Amino acid sequence: MRSPAGLLPSAGRMAQGRAMVDPVPSPCRNVCRVSADGGLCEGCGRTLDEIGRWAAASERERRAIVAAAAARLSQVRPGR
C-alpha cells in the first residue's frame, strides 16, 4: 500500500532510522517584557524558566513549551 505523497520522509530526511523533523522555531516575538504579576513574557507567553531552558531543550520539549505558551497567551489575549 502506498502512502499519500509527502507524508513519509524521504531518504534524505532520515537519521539513524528515525524521521527528522524541522526544528521548532523560537516563539520569541522581540517583545521581551515580563509581566509583573505572572512572570510571563508578554510577547511569547513563556515563563522565565522556559526562556532559560530553550537553547538546551530537545525538539520534543520545545514543542511542549510552544504549546504551553500559546495556551497561556490565549487566556491572556482571548480571540488572538
Phi-psi region of 11 (alpha: psi -120 to 50; beta: other; left: phi over 0): alpha
pTM for this entry: 0.68
Count how many domains the chain has.
Answer: 1
Cα 75 versus chain centre, distance:
17
**What are the pLDDT digits (tens) for 42-74?**
999 999 999 999 999 999 999 999 999 999 999
**43 lies in some domain:** yes
Residue 52's domain comprises 23-76
User: Rounded to an integer, what distance in angstroms lies between the CA atom of residue 51 and that of residue 12?
Assistant: 32
- Tens digit of each residue's pLDDT (9 = 90 or more) over 18-28: 556 789 999 99
Does residue 6 lie in a domain region? no
Q: Is residue 38 part of a domain?
A: yes
